[in-house]
Amino acid sequence: MVAAGRFELVSRLLFEAEEYLAKGDAVQSSEKLYKVAEECVKALSERLGLPEVKEAEVKGRWTVALLERAVRRLADELGVDVQLGWDAASHLHVWGFHEAKLEVEDVKARIPLIKRLVELAEKTCTE
């Protein structure tokens, strides 16, 4: 998926996440926000030509191990906002979506970190 398509998806997922929060659904909002971060990591990885992109193509999918390795490389290259946004999203994925242990306020508290990752990805991928 080209970067423009990814960012259309990111925008839609952010909107959906906020709609779910407004309805009090922390579980679905958590999953949408995780997908936002995942798409940002993929877009940045493609833009910077990371080897994880090729590995994902060979495997036919992105694994958690590939995403984690890409995040580490991206944070080294672009700064801590990549790691912070990814860590917030990963926390939401596990504790908000899979375990359903987070409240709406817990999810809301992590949105600014994920939005910083989105802003960084959009800026980097459109340069």
Residue 56 has pLDDT above 90, yes or no: yes
- CA quadruple 1, 121, 70, 64: dihedral positive or negative? negative
Please give the span between the terminal C-alpha atoms of the chain, in angstroms, as a whole number. Answer: 18
Residues 77-119: pLDDT tens digits? 999 999 999 999 999 999 999 999 999 999 999 999 999 999 9
Question: CATH number of the domain at 3-124, out of 3.30.530.20, 1.20.120.330, 1.10.260.40, 3.40.50.720?
Answer: 1.20.120.330
Q: Taking the domains of the chain in order of start, what are their residue ranges?
A: 3-124
Q: Residues 9-52: pLDDT tens digits?
A: 999 999 999 999 999 999 999 999 999 999 999 999 999 999 99
DSSP class of residue 97?
A: I
Quote the tokens at residue 107: 């999810």
Residue 89's alpha-carbon distances to 23, 75, 82, 93, 104, in angstroms, are 20, 15, 11, 6, 14
Q: What is the pLDDT of residue 1?
A: 47
User: Confidence band (pLDDT; 50, 70, 90) for 3?
Assistant: low
Asked whether 92 and 104 are in contact (CB, 8 A), the reply is: no
